[in-house]
């Protein structure tokens, strides 16, 4: 029936002339605050409405039951007298006396064996009414009619008008409707208040996003409470911090790169201008020795510039790379890097001690990092010097086994105050500034090792040279790598994931995991 009613509306519209899809679309287009307010108000209004309906029917039933009990008590008293032998002769007197004290109640009596009644003409209630406690009651033509029959067959029928009860019920209904109206208004106010309170952090977050978009101000948002919205704010602040760091790194990289590129470019430009002067007949001649020196300087500066640009590209790739990790046999990577550096420095002896080690990562990046460490060690070792490369499995306090790779040289070593700075971009110690290099090699090493869940530190070798120690997670066997979840290195694909990973590791260390 309801479906036919909806279909009978103009255009086949549903309830209130709006199809279900239209109502759903309209609701989905409303603001989140409006939807929360509407849902909250609807739930409160439904609860208030149900409570009022139950109250109405409960009070109505109670009033009817009260009237039935009153009529039943009067009927019981009359039946007790009807069983007396002389009641037949005083039946009219009993009726008149009853009417005297119960003017609002009509009465009809029927003695046992009679086929007629005395008193008012009242219908007999049978069955369909309330048949409890030995009487039957029903509402007929605006009156509450009760019929009670004794064991001897005496019948009493009483009827009382429902006007007073109806007035009470009507007054109750009006009162309940007023209460319902106030309840709906309170529900709407509650819905708006709840929506406003719940969405205040989201509103603040939205305003902050708009402000950041317009001003590029990356200050964190204040966090209030410890609920899901607070967690969302914390995550957004972490994203802002990651974005701030990314911009800072970009700014520093551009500034440092500009500074480092400026020096070789300026020197190269000067030398090229001098070489161009040789072809000018009006300029002073340049000796062949000076010419060769200038040409050598230009070539050296071009090589230095090429190395610097290549290192910058590698570092930028390290920052933005999201390569898929794959199982790596680190021994193959080490052997390949050692062979390459041996060809570059045949005058240096390399002592290599390796063991099998497997991990998940980027083989090309790890190979470049190990090659940079070996290149750096061979560069600082004198002719006939020794570069020592050792691999050793170490068990940490938390029970995890990690690999220590030590690369030691026979050079002058790294001053204590510079051992943490050497991994910064473009940093070069005082003793290293006179040698070729971009100052990016160890920065690339640090970035690569950290991305693989490891660490790299600088120290002193046994003979006073420099010692670089790399710590990497992994396993001694390939099978153990795949069977143990703790040895898997998961490369974060974003700065936010790196923050989560770092935070989880700190919590694991605090919990002794």
Domain boundaries, the chain: 85-164, 218-320, 325-510
pLDDT computed for residue 229 by the predictor: 74
Tens digits of per-residue pLDDT, 419-430? Answer: 888 887 766 554
What band does 319 get if pLDDT is binned at 50, 70 and 90? Answer: low
**Which residues have a Cβ under 8 Å from the Cβ of 131 and sit 6 or more positions away?**
none
Do 120 and 136 form a contact (C-beta atoms < 8 A)? no
Over range 209-215, report the average pLDDT. 83
Do 469 and 459 form a contact (C-beta atoms < 8 A)? yes
Give the containing element (helix H, strand E) for 509. Answer: helix 495-510
Q: Is the pLDDT of residue 298 over 90?
A: no
Q: What is the DSSP letter of 426?
A: T
- More confident site: 385 or 44: 385
Do 241 and 233 form a contact (C-beta atoms < 8 A)? no
Is the domain defined by 218-320 classed in CATH 1.10.10.10? no
Tens digits of per-residue pLDDT, 226-285? Answer: 777 778 888 888 888 888 887 777 776 676 666 566 666 777 787 777 777 766 645 556
pLDDT computed for residue 260 by the predictor: 60
Q: Is the pLDDT of residue 149 over 50?
A: yes
**Maximal C-alpha separation, the chain:** 163
What band does 414 get if pLDDT is binned at 50, 70 and 90? Answer: confident
pLDDT computed for residue 25 by the predictor: 57
**Which residues have a Cβ under 8 Å from the Cβ of 393 and sit 6 or more positions away?**
355, 357, 401, 402, 403, 404, 476
pLDDT computed for residue 434 by the predictor: 46
Tens digits of per-residue pLDDT, 82-107? Answer: 877 777 777 788 888 888 888 888 88
* Total count of residues recorded for the chain: 513
Q: Is the pLDDT of residue 436 over 60?
A: no
Over range 380-407, report the average pLDDT. 90
Over range 408-433, report the average pLDDT. 75
pLDDT computed for residue 466 by the predictor: 92
Task: Centre a 10 Å sphere on the Cβ of residue 302 and count the other Cβ atoms it contains.
Answer: 12
End-to-end CA distance of the chain: 66
Q: Any idea which of 39-53, 318-332, 370-384, 395-409 has the lowest mean pLDDT?
A: 318-332
Give the whole-angstrom CA distance, residue 361 versus residue 364. Answer: 9
Do 367 and 340 form a contact (C-beta atoms < 8 A)? no
Task: Centre a 10 Å sphere on the Cβ of residue 121 and count the other Cβ atoms it contains.
Answer: 8
Give the whole-angstrom CA distance, residue 385 versus residue 411. Answer: 8
Q: Which two tokens stand for residue 253?
A: 């990289």
What band does 127 get if pLDDT is binned at 50, 70 and 90? Answer: low
Tens digits of per-residue pLDDT, 323-362? Answer: 567 889 999 999 999 998 898 888 899 999 999 999 998 8
Q: Among residues of the chain, what percentage have pLDDT more than 90?
A: 12
Find, among 174, 117, 199, 498, the residue nearest to 322 by Cα: 498
Q: Is the pLDDT of residue 54 over 80?
A: yes
pLDDT computed for residue 473 by the predictor: 92
**If you classify domain 325-510 with CATH, what class do you get?**
alpha beta
**Which residues have a Cβ under 8 Å from the Cβ of 493 and sit 6 or more positions away?**
322
Q: Which two tokens stand for residue 295?
A: 């040409």
Within 216-227, residue ranges assigned H as helices are none
Q: Which two tokens stand for residue 223?
A: 């966090």
- More confident site: 144 or 296: 144
Find, among 472, 490, 367, 466, the residue nearest to 415 by Cα: 466
pLDDT computed for residue 6 by the predictor: 41
Dihedral of the alpha carbons of 61, 66, 71, 72, in degrees to the nearest 10: 90
What band does 11 get if pLDDT is binned at 50, 70 and 90? Answer: very low
pLDDT computed for residue 285 by the predictor: 62
Tens digits of per-residue pLDDT, 303-312? Answer: 767 766 776 6
Q: Which two tokens stand for residue 200?
A: 């205040």
Over range 431-445, report the average pLDDT. 63
Give the whole-angstrom CA distance, residue 234 versus residue 220. Answer: 9
- More confident site: 322 or 306: 306
Distance of CA 21 to the CA centre of its chain: 30
**Which residues have a Cβ under 8 Å from the Cβ of 125 and sit 6 or more positions away?**
136, 137, 138, 140, 145, 146, 147, 157
- Burial class from Cβ neighbours inside 10 Å (0-12, 13-18, 19+) for residue 173 reads middle
pTM above 0.75, yes or no: no
pLDDT computed for residue 312 by the predictor: 67
Residue holding tokens 């109206």?
Answer: 181
pLDDT computed for residue 480 by the predictor: 75
pLDDT computed for residue 291 by the predictor: 73
């Amino acid at each position: 029936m309801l479906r036919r009613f909806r279909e009978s509306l103009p255009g086949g519209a549903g309830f209130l002339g709006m199809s279900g899809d239209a109502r759903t679309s309209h609701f989905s287009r409303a603001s989140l605050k409006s939807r929360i307010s509407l849902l909250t108000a609807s739930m409160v209004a439904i609860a208030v409405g149900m409570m009022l309906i139950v109250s109405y029917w409960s009070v109505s039933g109670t009033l009817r039951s009260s009237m039935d009990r009153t009529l039943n008590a009067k009927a019981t008293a009359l039946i007790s007298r009807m069983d007396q032998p002389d009641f037949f002769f005083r039946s009219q007197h009993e009726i008149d006396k009853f009417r005297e004290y119960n003017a609002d109640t009509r009465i009809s009596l029927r003695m046992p064996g009679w086929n007629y009644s005395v008193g008012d003409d009242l219908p007999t209630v049978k069955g369909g009414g309330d048949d409890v406690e030995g009487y039957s009651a029903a509402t007929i033509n605006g009156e509450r009619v009760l019929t009670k029959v004794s064991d001897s067959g005496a019948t009493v029928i009483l009827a009382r008008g429902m006007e007073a009860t109806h007035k009470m019920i009507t007054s109750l209904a009006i009162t309940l409707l007023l209460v319902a109206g106030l309840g709906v208004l309170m529900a709407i106010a509650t819905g708006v208040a709840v929506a406003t309170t719940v969405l205040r952090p989201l509103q603040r977050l939205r305003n902050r996003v708009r402000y950041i978009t317009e001003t590029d101000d990356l200050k964190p948002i204040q966090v209030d409470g410890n609920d899901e919205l607070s967690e969302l704010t914390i995550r957004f602040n972490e994203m802002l911090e990651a974005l701030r760091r990314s911009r800072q790194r970009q700014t520093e990289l551009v500034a440092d790169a500009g500074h480092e590129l400026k020096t070789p470019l300026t020197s190269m430009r000067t030398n090229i201008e001098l070489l161009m002067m040789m072809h000018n007949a009006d300029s002073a001649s340049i000796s062949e020795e000076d010419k060769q020196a200038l040409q050598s300087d230009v070539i050296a500066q071009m090589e230095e510039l090429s190395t610097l640009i290549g290192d910058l590209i590698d570092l930028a790739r390290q920052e933005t790379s999201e390569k898929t990790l794959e199982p790596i046999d680190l021994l193959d990577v080490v052997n390949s890097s050692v062979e390459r550096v041996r060809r570059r420095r045949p005058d240096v002896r390399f002592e290599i001690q390796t063991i099998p080690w497997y991990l998940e990562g980027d083989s090309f990046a790890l190979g470049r990092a190990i090659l940079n460490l070996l290149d750096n060690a061979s560069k600082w070792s004198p002719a006939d010097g020794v570069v020592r490369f050792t691999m050793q499995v170490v068990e940490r306090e938390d029970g995890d086994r990690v690999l220590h790779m030590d690369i030691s040289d026979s050079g002058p070593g790294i001053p204590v105050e510079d051992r943490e700075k050497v991994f910064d971009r473009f940093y070069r110690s005082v003793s290293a500034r006179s040698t070729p290099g971009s100052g990016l090699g160890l920065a690339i090493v640090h970035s690569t090792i950290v991305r693989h869940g490891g660490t790299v530190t600088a120290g002193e070798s046994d003979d006073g040279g420099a010692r670089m120690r790399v710590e990497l997670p992994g396993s001694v066997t390939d099978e153990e790598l795949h069977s143990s979840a703790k040895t898997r290195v998961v490369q974060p694909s974003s700065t936010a994931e790196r923050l989560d990973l770092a935070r989880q590791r700190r919590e694991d260390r605090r919990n002794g995991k």
